[in-house]
Amino acid sequence: MTVLRQFSRYVTIGVVTNGLLYGAYLLLTATGAAPEVAMTVTYLTGVALSFHLNRRWTFESGLPYLHTLIRFIALYASGYALNYAGLALLPDRLGLPHQLVQIAIMGGLVVYFFAMFRVWVFRSP
């Protein structure tokens, strides 16, 4: 499968799931949840959805389930740390609205995750 086709599928999954998850994030924060708590809840939901959809449809991975799951979780743990740090620091330090910080971080993580999926998580031997 070509990189362009994989990226197209990845973006399709990402737009739909992240759109829904960002809406959930806004709803949770609007009802009083702290931004870090709302991000954690939506992030964990997104991880579960992303693993199954990207493993089967985007990358059509035939690698062992546990092998890809462990790498996937490690990758998303690094993404979580970056997301949490940015959300905890940038609104307070730079005075930026947490809503804009969160959407910007999500955009940066899209590129990071796709590259790492291709070269590490779902890479065929």
Task: State the pLDDT confidence band at 52, using cuts at 50, 70 and 90.
Answer: very high
Q: Which residue has the tokens 């806004």?
A: 26
Q: In 4-123, at which residue ranges do the beta strands (DSSP E only) sit?
A: none
Mean pLDDT of 21-49: 93
Q: Which amino acid is at 53?
A: L
Q: In 31-64, which ranges are continuous DSSP H helix?
A: 35-53
pTM for the model stands at 0.73
Q: Look over the chain and give the mean of its residue pLDDT values, rounded to a whole number.
A: 92
pLDDT of amino acid 53: 94
CA atoms of 64 and 78, how far apart (whole Å): 22
Q: Hey, what amino acid is at 41?
A: V
Residue 116 pLDDT > 90: yes
* 88 pLDDT more than 80: yes
